[in-house]
Amino acid sequence: MDGIGNQDYVEAILTALRIAWPALLLGAIVALLVVAAGLWKQWRITKSGMRQIDRMTGLEFERYLEWLFRRLGYKVQRTRYQGDYGADLVASKDGVKTAIQAKRSKRRIGIKAVQQAFASTGVYECEQSIVVTNAFFTQAATRLAKADKVELWDRNRLMEAMASVGGKGTVAEALAPPEPRSVEAPVPDERSARTAAPAVCAICGQPVSERVRDYCEANARRFDGRILCYGH
Report pLDDT digits (tens) over 199-217.
677 676 677 777 677 777 7
Across the strands, what pairs with 77? 90
Handedness of CA 33, 35, 36, 41 (dihedral sign): positive
The residue with greater pLDDT, 176 or 98, is: 98
The enclosing H or E element of 75 equals strand 75-78
Report pLDDT digits (tens) over 169-180.
566 666 665 444
Mean pLDDT rounded to a whole number for the chain: 76
Checking if the pLDDT of 16 tops 60, the result is yes
Mean predicted confidence (pLDDT) in 5-12: 67
Asked if 90 and 99 count as a contact pair (C-beta separation under 8 A), the reply is yes
pLDDT at 194: 44
Q: Please tell me the least confidently modeled range out of 84-88, 97-101, 131-135, 148-152.
A: 84-88
The enclosing H or E element of 92 equals strand 89-93
pTM of the model: 0.57
Say how far apart CA 188 and CA 205 lie, in whole Å.
24
Domain boundaries, the chain: 2-48, 53-175, 187-232
Beta strand 128-133 pairing with 151-153: parallel
Report the candidate in 225, 184, 174 with the shortest Cα–Cα distance to residue 64: 174
Say how far apart CA 117 and CA 229 lie, in whole Å.
28
The residue with greater pLDDT, 210 or 35, is: 210
Q: What is the CATH number of domain 53-175?
A: 3.40.1350.10
Q: Tell me, what amino acid is at 129?
A: S
- pLDDT tier, 129 (very low <50, low <70, confident <90, very high otherwise): very high
